[in-house]
Chains A and B, each alone.
Chain A
Amino acid sequence: MKLSPLEANSPDTDMTPIIDIVFLLLMLFMIVINFENSKAEDRTRLPKDGLAKPPEVRPEHELVLNFGYKRNRDGSKAESTPTVYFNDRDVEVGRLGIELDQERRAMEQQYGNRVIDDVTVLIRADADVPAGLVQQLVQKCQQNGFTKFLLRAMVEQK
């Protein structure tokens, strides 16, 4: 009597559902991911407010000014004076006039002389920044021809 050894039957796993799920997750993360430069966002701790609403329509011409403190890894302030994070550099409010003038000229060169009336200055100021410095920032912008302003805050969800 011949007995043939039993062959181990390895179950064939159907990989199709696994691949489907993996690709679905991959597509989800590809859609959700945001590669924008968040260095400016990390340093500015916006005040929270229940009435702050996400803009329905983004302004056509926008100038974003991030005003906050350089912070250490633990979140404490590295410097006592807040600075404006503008064009990848830290600029004090008092010296912002030159930068704003250059920005205005660049915008006028690109879009025409009347563009300055349509530019919205979006101020993202840290909650701890003195209000007087925010007002100085606004005045600097006004001196350079900017007239529209928006203050950004985090949406407070109750």
Chain B
Amino acid sequence: MKFKLHLPPDKFNLPLAPMLDIALLLMMFFVLNLKLVTPQGNLDLNLPISAPNLVQRADVNLTDIKVGLHSDRNGVLTELTLGSKNLGNDDAAFDRLNREILQIIGRPGNPLTKDVEIEIDADFETQYRYVAKAISQCTGRIDAQTKQIARYVEKIRFAPPHKPKA
């Protein structure tokens, strides 16, 4: 009499193909839904923008810097001014604005200019991109060596809005 000894198989072959299929399907789902977002940041405005009924400030000794942005009907910048000085209307005009602000305050982080305010006076039609750039150039610059932001003026406000051009 022959007895056959049935031993369990030494190897258990787990079918991996279905698991790989599911994993690849999941990966395809996430790849297709992935959105590459450009990093965004904030331009800090440390002062509330001029309220409609602004109380006259008693301390008139502070130096206020007025930046003017004038544009045509389409909102394209025609003139960037700092006080009465015309800085032009090209891309370099904002670099000039940055240098002029630095000259006024002396050096970045100067404690004497802690309370200096910049007033942005833009035409109604001026495109927001120019205003954002003006705010940025008044706020400071990126130091070429340290790659850190060197702060110029932190208090920025808007002048009362103008009416649209007729």
Contacts and interface: CB of A to CB of B under 8 A. Distances in A.
A50 interface: yes
Contact of B161 (A35, A50, A139): A139
B23 interface: yes
Interface string A30-42: 1011110010010
A127 interface: yes
B62 interface: no
A26 B133 contact: no
A151 B35 contact: no
Interface in B135-151: 135-136, 139-142, 149
Contacts of A148: 48
A136 B161 contact: yes
A33 B26 CA distance: 13
A151 B23 contact: no
B37 A41 contact: yes
A47 interface: yes
A22 B16 CA distance: 13
Contacts of B130: 131
A68 B52 CA distance: 24
A132 interface: yes
Nearest to B34: A33
A46 B37 CA distance: 12
Question: For chain B, which range describes its interface: under 10, 10 to 19, 20 to 34, or 35 or more residues?
Answer: 35 or more
Contacts of A29: 27, 30-31, 34
A54 B41 contact: yes
A22 B42 contact: no
B99 to A, nearest CB: 15
B69 interface: yes
Interface stretch (B2-10, B80-88, B108-116, B119-127): B119-127
Given A26-B26, A132-B123, A152-B41, A126 B140 contact: no
B35 A38 contact: yes
Contacts of B40: 46, 52, 54, 152-155
Interface in A110-151: 122, 125-136, 138-139, 142-143, 147-151
A5 interface: no
Interface of A: 15, 18-19, 22-23, 25-26, 29-30, 32-35, 38, 41, 46-47, 49-55, 122, 125-136, 138-139, 142-143, 147-155
Interface of B: 16-17, 19-20, 23-24, 26-27, 30-31, 33-35, 37-45, 48-49, 51-52, 69, 75, 122-133, 135-136, 139-142, 149, 158, 161-162, 164
Closest 10 CB pairs of A and B: A132-B124, A52-B41, A29-B30, A127-B129, A135-B161, A47-B129, A47-B132, A131-B122, A53-B41, A151-B43
9 contacts: A19-B20, A35-B33, A127-B128, A134-B128, A135-B158, A139-B51, A142-B51, A153-B41, A154-B39
